[in-house]
Structure 1
């Protein structure tokens, strides 16, 4: 049921219930009369009509958007005006529909002030209660809508930021890949052709990564394998690759290009610097509801810190955007010659 139907249902039930309670009191006190029933039916219409008019004015003047300090005095003034209006309309109505009231007014030659005061206070109480209920409902409804809009906005911003971060990864990766191919063109054309085939695969995966928040670890490792194949041609025996991938991790979802970025960082700062080269080790295993990715490489951590560090920074930011505090990333100097990077992701 939509909000409009709920509003009209509450209006009808509320004013009908209030008017019927008055009718029961009249019947128990003075007995039943046809005029009392007519008076109750018209009173229901008046109550619904005047409060609905007030609601339209609220929306037209945007009072619901005002701070509480401005809403309260406006609401009190509106309630008093509505109460006076209801007294002006209901007293003549009672005079013409209820014989007992008509007889009393005729006997005293007018409308008693105390009768007007009682009617004013009674309507003020009822209309004030209606206003409080309506404003409280609107307040919580508006708060809920604002919270939904805030969550949607935060989600959109996170998606936008994640796309920007992925876009920052691709040019850096392409630069290194093209340099590898350029070095092979004159030395070994056949290997250059093979490298071009691998590069085309990398390009395809890179383009797809901009459309996906996560990919399977198996797909990510294929990208890493293509990248390392290019670097293996470039560094030859200077690059040693070790892998220890648990089969039950291959279908776990990971951010695209994340492992590749860490491997690329390891090659750049661990393998390319020393003349003798070094090794890269990639491990993946499940631990309860988390995927542990460990990348170890020859190198000194301070070398990576002295660089631009874009890849490592993007890795941390992307994990926060996708997993919040559920994921973690850390990199440290495991031994004098080995750097260890560890990513811990919740299994989704």
Structure 2
């Protein structure tokens, strides 16, 4: 039994109780009947229940055997069939009225029929209006649920697309560097290749994850930094200071910290005379990445897309902002530590 059918049946009982109570009040207020108050109330409640159950049964049968009907066709069929079935069932209860109401025992079946048909119409109307409200509420909830699922699927697709945009440009540069190292220093090339393999293995481990554990992201950064140190040697200094507890419990978007380090290296000069200093540390729920400003004169045309990518991924995952600040000497980016890899839960 579907949740909708259970809800409709529950409302059938509610309507039957209200109808029975209304009959009692009507008889008392207008002083009708000859002591048959409870009998009339019982008959009114039973008939209301019959009308309700009939309409539920019709709805179930229509959706089971005629699933391709339009909403309009289904409503018309329900209304007409419901009224006819209700009137037929109400007519069958006419002989019971004499038992509960002595005032009606002198009336023939045909004399009582018009009143019963009128009562059937009224009960059908109440049942249909009530059931329509319940059906509309369920349809609205289903539409909202489906919209939420579609929105989540779209956001997930967007997140994966943004994540995939990170790799091609990095891989091109890494392979170019590897080719150069093998020409000049085979040992350095072997070390570089080893860290590159670790980096790529981590990047392919969980391609569907929305976020990655902070400890895994820091490990990824360390492999990336080892590769860059082979390239820049003493021209690059990087310090990472994040507490062990935060590493084991926090999450960030995959490749977010690595992309911040890459962004700093891409936009700044790094020489032995003027080394590039990158510092990454945890502070009150945020990971802050800072570097000294030594802006390059010539920067790749793709410059700036890494930060835009990161800002968009945070919007999708948690709605948090990425705080970017710069003064005369320092550039910094602060990202929120998430408390759950499924996003939307913040640290």
Q: TM-score range by the shorter chain?
A: 0.7 to 0.9
1:65 CA displacement: 4.7
**Residue 65 to residue 284, structure 1, CA distance change in 2 (3 Å):** farther
SS in 2 for 1:294: strand
Q: Is the 8 A contact 1:209 1:256 kept in 2?
A: no
Q: 1:179, 1:277 → 2: CA distance?
A: 25
- Which residue in the other structure is 2:331 paired with? 339
1:194 CA displacement: 0.9
1:229 CA displacement: 1.4
Q: 2:120, 2:105 → 1: CA distance?
A: 21
**Residue 17 to residue 276, structure 1, CA distance change in 2 (3 Å):** same
Q: Is the 8 A contact 1:285 1:292 kept in 2?
A: yes
**Residue 250 to residue 61, structure 1, CA distance change in 2 (3 Å):** closer
Deviations 1:166-199 (A, max 9, x none): 1111112212222221221121111111111111
2:55 is aligned, of 51, 54, 69, to 51
**Residue 135 to residue 304, structure 1, CA distance change in 2 (3 Å):** farther
Q: Does 1:181 align with 2:181?
A: no
Q: 1:306, 1:275 → 2: CA distance?
A: 26
- Which residue in the other structure is 1:328 paired with? 321
Q: Is the 8 A contact 1:296 1:339 kept in 2?
A: yes
- Which residue in the other structure is 1:104 paired with? 107
- Which residue in the other structure is 1:220 paired with? 217
Deviations 1:258-292 (A, max 9, x none): 111111111111136x79553132222231xx223
- Greater shift in the superposed pair: 151-160 or 293-302: 293-302
Taking structure 2 as the reference length, the TM-score comes to 0.75
- Which residue in the other structure is 2:309 paired with? 314
Q: Is the 8 A contact 1:183 1:234 kept in 2?
A: no
Q: Is the 8 A contact 1:294 1:340 kept in 2?
A: yes
Q: Is the 8 A contact 1:300 1:338 kept in 2?
A: no
- Which residue in the other structure is 1:229 paired with? 226
2:251 is aligned, of 253, 268, 272, to 253
- Greater shift in the superposed pair: 1-10 or 140-149: 1-10
Deviations 1:121-149 (A, max 9, x none): 43333222212221111122222222222
Query: What root-mean-square deviation, in Å, do the aligned CA atoms of Structure 1 and Structure 2 show?
Result: 4.1
- Which residue in the other structure is 2:94 paired with? 94
Which blocks of at least 5 consecutive residues in structure 2 are unaligned?
340-346
1:281 is aligned, of 278, 283, 286, to 278
Taking structure 1 as the reference length, the TM-score comes to 0.75
Equivalenced residues, count: 328
SS in 1 for 2:218: helix
Deviations 1:230-268 (A, max 9, x none): 111112222232334344432221111111111111111
- Which residue in the other structure is 1:295 paired with? 290
**Residue 44 to residue 269, structure 1, CA distance change in 2 (3 Å):** closer
1:51 CA displacement: 2.3
**Residue 193 to residue 8, structure 1, CA distance change in 2 (3 Å):** same
1:205 CA displacement: 0.9
**Residue 302 to residue 64, structure 1, CA distance change in 2 (3 Å):** farther
After superposition, residues 15-26 of structure 1 pair within 5 angstroms as: 15=16, 18=19
Which blocks of at least 5 consecutive residues in structure 1 are unaligned?
none
Q: Is the 8 A contact 1:19 1:40 kept in 2?
A: yes
1:90 CA displacement: 3.8
Q: 1:307, 1:85 → 2: CA distance?
A: 72
SS in 2 for 1:103: coil
- Which residue in the other structure is 2:344 paired with? none
- Which residue in the other structure is 1:133 paired with? 130
Q: Is the 8 A contact 2:288 2:334 kept in 1?
A: yes
Deviations 1:281-320 (A, max 9, x none): 2222231xx2232232433399769644221121111111
After superposition, residues 187-206 of structure 1 pair within 5 angstroms as: 187-206=184-203
